[in-house]
Structure 1
Amino acid sequence: MNKLKVILLLSLIAACNNSSSVNENKSTEQLNKGTYGYDVAFLKKYSPHLVQLQDSNMKILVSADYQGRVMTSSATGDSGSGYGWINYNLISSGEKKKQFNPVGGEERFWLGPEGGQYSIYFNKGDSFNIMHWQVPPVVDTETYNIVQQDKSSVTFSKSAVITNYSGTTFNLDIKRKVELLNKNAVEKNLHISIPEGVQYVAYESTNQIKNTGSREWKKDSGLLSIWLLGMMNPTPQTKVVIPFIPGPNAKSYITDNYFGKIPANRLMVKDSVLFFRCDGKSRGKLGLSPAIAKPIVGSYDFKKNVLTILIPEVHNGEAYVNSKWEIQQQPYKGDVINSYNDGPLEDGTQLGPFYEIESSSPARELRPGETQEYHQLTCHFQGDYSALKELAKQLLFIDLDELKNW
């Protein structure tokens, strides 16, 4: 009798184990490409140091293997849309490209400036063209250390030595914290009430660079800035919205020709806001000077009814690095907010499609041991159009119906 009980018990355990395995396989097979759950299952194969921050259906996926970047997030759980663009082909190939590894991710940590005499992406004496452009490994291929982790936050660190185009060497420590925000924190930061019928996910990143060398960082030998870039999934109905401070010369502080002038049917500049079509079908980039920028930028996806809001820091009157690929007359007259729409290159190939929203910190002189800190808040709201229309009006001072019809 005892032997029979043991056999039955073992059979029951085996059945339970098999059932669990089948359910896991079945759920993995049922995940659609583009959902958060699909991206988690995919990235687990290639990134051994993944961290998921979660509160109910709000989920954020962060990777130490990819420099502490937020790879993707969801407001509606595993079956919901993943907001971050993932370069499945590059990641699954296992290839490490020499110049740049665009693995994707909706917020990644970079450093500026990209171009000019103080560039950290070109070696001294090289011409400013794509053949000589090189992304520093510390923001491209190196794994960061996880120094703290709980269910709502994770902190990474990394030490680096970087030399700029002029020959100045920077010894620095990098520290980056990503924290999932609850409803109270979101409403307090945005000065709103999240309406019924709207799901959301929100996080704040705190980014630090510390001068660990023996030399003070000075303007006349080059400075560094913290540069955050987000690669998002576009649809044919995705549009970026950037409010700005109005004025008679406001348009002169908007750069719209980084990769050739953006066509008029893709960019509308009004008196205090601009609209930019970001459907991943036409390559173009724009930027706003801190002289007119406001600490908010957004996008709206009319296909999926997703309102994305970024709250960067804007410090008017401070130095911002100029990243244009040339020796510059004004190396500290750069942008604080940028947006990029991916599209086919001259040879017909295309990296994405994706679109980007970017922000930069000021470039500050730091004495040995001093630290600079930069914060950015990212929120995705998804759900009822009428509720999101009211949110967009409160936050961006726009009418979504007008944006939709443009």
Structure 2
Amino acid sequence: MCRLLKRLLCVILFITISACNNSDVYPISTFGEDLEVINSVISPVILKDRERQIVVSSEFQGRIFTSTSQGLGGTSYGWFNKNILLSDSVLVNRSKIGGEGRIWFGPDQGPNTIFFKIDEKTGEKLHAAPKDLNTLSFNILAQSSGSVKLGNKLHIENLKGFHFNIEVERKIELLKEDYVSNFLSNSFSNNLSYVAYKTNTKMTNVGEQDWSKETGLLSLWDLGCYHPTPKTTVIIPLKENVDNATVYFTEIDSTRIVVKDKVLYYKADANYLNKIGTLPEYTLPYFGSYSPELNSLTIVKFSFNSLDKEYVNAHPVNVENQYRGDVINVFNDGKWGEVGPFGPFYELETSSPAKELKVGESVSHFQEVYHFKGSKKELNKISISVLGVSIKDIEIALP
């Protein structure tokens, strides 16, 4: 009864926050407000280093719901679906919650997809997330004030009818100041507000069959949902200039995507449903996003070996080569015909390579996420140091 009352109060709080925010920017709660909503439903793990905190859930498969660089009153960096979280069906809809760090498995489209099934009665192809991804909790395997390790075994079936039995272990740790300072080198400043964390996920084939390309492969897929603003821009440094990125769902033009001087700029304003990606031959192991409205810069650094050439292809149309897929993906929410919007949010996503795992073999994938908040001068130093472009370059890249 107590938890139900808290949930009702959180619904009222959520509606109030949405009504009172600046209309030029989508509603963004404080970390404390988001934490109150989460606490009304589950008992999360809070990793904390002074004002820097992240919310991790074992009930939602090692998901990072959100983070803050400025304590309870600071901006909540992650977006998650409060309507679903506060609904009675939440524990059978875990895959739809969002959050700024969740583990999925690719591909979600194409002949090897794990997000569709064939209806036995009609023969129709129906969209459906794997049951375990929607209903299974993870176990806490180890925990300290700054890190937590979680995991469980999952069963996943692809459209071809191949059964994957996997064991997943996911370690999440808050990154300390000396680690962040070393990463940024001379661009680090004590005037910055920041929070940073690392996720390292391992997937092991614990079934009775080796995996093969013919029957389909899985990849580890790490996705983060963030709050968009009208001028949010994603920045993806490239090994070389490309004519365009991989484009999904809808067409886009130079008002939304530009490649200049080996850097891809993409508008992430949650105002047009679209998705892009970069192939391994063009990929570097870092990218980010910048919001002038929020005075914030996000950097994602991830595991990537240029010798790995094969990634699952999740394109819904271009399916000729099922192992010529993207390493980086960016999803922009919005409305397209009768579809969407789903948030509003945008996603920064990275994937592991596709591996033919024999029984007992594993593949791992890590991400480091850095949120920086501060003056344009301080953010500019980081942007130049890590992404190779200035804040001015980012601001004038797109109309």
Instruction: Compute the TM-score of the two structures, normalised by the length of structure 2.
Output: 0.87
Q: Which has the larger radius of gyration?
A: 1
The answer on 1:251 being equivalent to 2:266 is no
Aligned to 1:251, what secondary structure does the other structure show? coil
- 1:298 aligns with one of 288, 298, 308: 288
Q: How big is the shift at 1:191?
A: 4.5
Aligned to 1:132, what secondary structure does the other structure show? strand
The percentage of counterpart residues that share the same residue type is: 35
Q: Is the contact between residue 130 and residue 157 of structure 2 (CA under 8 Å) also seen in structure 1?
A: no
Q: Distance in 1 between matches of 2:100 and 2:306?
A: 26
Q: Distance in 1 between matches of 2:337 and 2:94?
A: 19
Aligned to 1:186, what secondary structure does the other structure show? helix
Q: How big is the shift at 1:321?
A: 0.3
Residue in structure 2 matched with residue 142 of structure 1 by the alignment: 136
Q: Distance in 1 between matches of 2:257 and 2:94?
A: 28
Letter in 2 for 1:40: L
Residue in structure 2 matched with residue 344 of structure 1 by the alignment: 335
- 1:157 aligns with one of 151, 162, 173: 151
Q: Structure 1 regions of 5+ residues with no counterpart?
A: 1-24
Q: How big is the shift at 1:125?
A: 8.2
Q: Distance in 2 between matches of 1:348 and 1:163?
A: 27
Residue in structure 1 matched with residue 205 of structure 2 by the alignment: 211
- Cα displacement string for residues 228-281 of structure 1 (whole angstroms, at most 9, x for unaligned residues): 11100111221111110115xx335x212x111123211111130011111111
Change in 2 beyond 3 A, CA 1:53/1:100: closer
Q: Is the contact between residue 224 and residue 364 of structure 1 (CA under 8 Å) also seen in structure 2?
A: yes
Moved more, 95-104 or 138-147: 95-104
- 1:123 aligns with one of 95, 117, 120: 117
Residue in structure 2 matched with residue 388 of structure 1 by the alignment: 379
Q: 1:159-308 to 2 correspondence within 5 Å?
A: 159-247=153-241, 250-251=242-243, 254-256=245-247, 258-308=248-298
- Cα displacement string for residues 269-315 of structure 1 (whole angstroms, at most 9, x for unaligned residues): 11300111111111111000011011011001101111100002223
Change in 2 beyond 3 A, CA 1:264/1:145: same
The answer on 1:111 being equivalent to 2:105 is yes
Q: How big is the shift at 1:202?
A: 0.4
- Cα displacement string for residues 16-69 of structure 1 (whole angstroms, at most 9, x for unaligned residues): xxxxxxxxx9xxx8x966110111111001123x00000001000011121111
Q: Distance in 2 between matches of 1:121 and 1:87?
A: 20
Q: How big is the shift at 1:100?
A: 7.5
Q: 1:303-322 to 2 correspondence within 5 Å?
A: 303-318=293-308, 319-322=310-313
Moved more, 131-140 or 227-236: 131-140
Q: How big is the shift at 1:102?
A: 2.3
Q: 1:69-84 to 2 correspondence within 5 Å?
A: 69-84=63-78
Letter in 2 for 1:107: G
The answer on 1:362 being equivalent to 2:349 is no
Q: How big is the shift at 1:345?
A: 3.6
Q: Is the contact between residue 262 and residue 285 of structure 1 (CA under 8 Å) also seen in structure 2?
A: no
Q: How big is the shift at 1:89?
A: 1.6
Q: How big is the shift at 1:215?
A: 1.6
Residue in structure 2 matched with residue 34 of structure 1 by the alignment: 29
Letter in 1 for 2:379: L
The answer on 1:59 being equivalent to 2:49 is no
Residue in structure 1 matched with residue 40 of structure 2 by the alignment: 45
Letter in 1 for 2:393: E
Aligned to 1:40, what secondary structure does the other structure show? helix
Q: Is the contact between residue 170 and residue 200 of structure 2 (CA under 8 Å) also seen in structure 1?
A: yes
The count of residues paired between Structure 1 and Structure 2 equals: 373
Aligned to 1:391, what secondary structure does the other structure show? helix
- Report runs of 4+ in structure 1 exceeding 6 Å deviation: 97-100
Change in 2 beyond 3 A, CA 1:64/1:200: same
Change in 2 beyond 3 A, CA 1:173/1:81: same
